[in-house]
Structures are given as C-alpha cells and as structure tokens.
Chains A and B, each alone.
Chain A
C-alpha cells in the first residue's frame, strides 16, 4: 500500500468515525440519566443488529485510523524505518481490531 493510499484510508476512516463518535457520546449522556448498570446496557445491545453494525464498523475504522497514525509517529518520533515500522503498525492495527471485535461480540451476542 502506498503512502498516498494510507493517507486516503486514514482520512476516509476519520470521515466514518466522526458521526459514530457523536452518536456514541450522545447515547452515553442519554443512557446514564437514570443511573448506570450493566443490565441496562446489555438490555439495549444484546441481540441488536444495529448496535453490532454500529460498533463493528466503529472498531474497524478505529483500527485502520489509529494504526496508520501510529505508523507515522513511529517513523518520525521513534525513528523506526522500513519493514519494521510496517510490521509494528500492522500488529497494533490487528490488535485493536481483535480487542474491539471481542468487546462488540461480548455485548451484542
């Protein structure tokens, strides 16, 4: 993947995340009005195709966006170059994806 394609992937994933962040924060504010409990959250999310799709796409976008951004920081700040930098960034991206997917599955299945 060229630097340009990484640049576009990072901008497009940001575009996807922007409305997700607003909805995520909005629902949080709405949901804690009557106190916060695990049962209430799971009651909303379990079996919900909407929340599965919402947070599933959110996790994918975050993984792409963060891995590309950290790849730049690893190069400019930590001095990592070439293949090593790509491998570290890919591991971070896949790790975020795995952790996020596990969390989404845990609250929606």
Chain B
C-alpha cells in the first residue's frame, strides 16, 4: 500500500430537521486504523458536534454499524485499509432506518419488528421446575445454534433491498430470531411464531436476494433461516406438524 499521511473522510451530516449533507475532513492516517477510529478522531479533534453511536469496540454489541462507501458494515471491526477507495472513505447512517442525527440511525423500527416477528421466548416450564436438558447434537439445536450469535447490528436490515421496497417487511434479523426460537426445544408456542411470520410483511415477502447473508459481519445466514420459515409454514399449510 502506498504511504499516505492523511485520509479524506466524507461524513453525512443532518437529521430530521436538517437535510443530509456531506462534510469532508482530513484525518491522519495510521497503519492500523478502523473506520470507527476515523469517525472518533473527527469527533474528538475536528468537530465535537458529530453524532455517532458505539459501545464495545470489539464487535460484540452491534452499536456501531454505518454505511461505509455505500455498504453497511460494523465500523469497529472494519479496517480502513480494506475499504479505502483511493485515499477516501465515505461514511453515512445505516440505510432503511430513520436518522436521529448524522451517523446515528433510529433503531426503533428494527427492534419493533423483532417483537412483531414473535422474537420472544415462550417458556415450557416455570422457574420452580427443573431445567430441561438440551441435546446439543440434535438437528434442531444445530439449526438454532446457527442463528443465535446475532448481535442486532442491523447490517442485514440495511443491506436488504426488500426492506427498502416494502416498509412492512420484518427483515432478516427478526425472521432469523423467529427461526432460532422455532427450533428451540424449550419454546412452547411454535404456532404463534409461524402465525407472526406468516402475517403481512412476514417471511413470504422475502425475495431470496441474499444480501443479508452476504453482508452479515458475523457470517450468519439469515437467508437460509427465512427459507426454513417458508418451508415450515408451507408444511403446516398442508397439515404437516413438526
């Protein structure tokens, strides 16, 4: 890589009260530097009014996702050297979500849809009963395990063109959550899950374009989870039971 002193970083500024407009900063370049480092440098050294969100800085909390050169990414684990376009980077708020201010997207619709997809546990036992043993090698458990490392960063939701075209669509993360619960031996209401994902904007709105799986920073596969829900609802339609 060629030697360079500075990066040209364009960030989108604005929010509900002010139209979004790009603002460009010159940021010192280092050998090891993440996109979140660059955004933090701007906020700490150039313009303290720049708004953005982060917490853990190690790819666990899912707070810092932004659009980087037009692609949704977790910025704390995205090296500048991997995304640099010439000597420039453009950073914006996540797509498909309202903007609170600058780089901070409003996550409410994302989490509201998580609830709408029935993404909550329906217990089989009360706290007074013994804990049910789980077979870790059961096929169902493997299926659930494949989706439970979601960090709710909303990268898949921002990458999804179906969400962009259909505001009712629940999106990949919420549907993958529903699929993990559907395969959880400790979940007592699978019909409620299938009802929720069969409603307006549910799994049947998915066009299987696969951006969710392509962009998930944790390399999860929401596309296959949604296909699983489609199969499960079709099976139930023909009278098949799990």
Does A30 sit at the interface, judged by CB under 8 A?
Answer: no
Q: Which one of A2-10, A16-24, A45-53 is at the B interface? A: A2-10
CB distance from B205 to the nearest CB of A (A): 7
Q: How large is the interface on B (under 10, 10 to 19, 20 to 34, 35 or more residues)?
A: 10 to 19
Contact A3 B202 (CB under 8 A): yes
Of residues 5 through 50 on chain A, the ones whose CB sits less than 8 Å from some CB of chain B are 6-8, 11
**Majority SS of interface residues in chain A?**
helix
Does B204 sit at the interface, judged by CB under 8 A?
Answer: yes
B198 partner residues in chain A, CB cutoff 8 A: 2-4
Q: Measured between alpha carbons, how far is A7 from B162 in the docked complex, in Å?
A: 16
A76 partner residues in chain B, CB cutoff 8 A: 162, 165-166
Q: Measured between alpha carbons, how far is A51 from B63 in the docked complex, in Å?
A: 61
Known contacts A3-B200, A8-B237; A77/B205 CB under 8 A: no
15 contacts between A and B (CB under 8 A): A2-B199, A2-B200, A3-B198, A3-B204, A4-B198, A4-B199, A4-B202, A4-B204, A4-B233, A6-B204, A7-B204, A7-B230, A72-B205, A76-B165, A77-B165
3 nearest CB pairs, A to B: A76-B165, A7-B204, A4-B198
Interface residues of B (CB under 8 A from A): 162, 165-166, 198-202, 204-205, 230, 233-234, 237
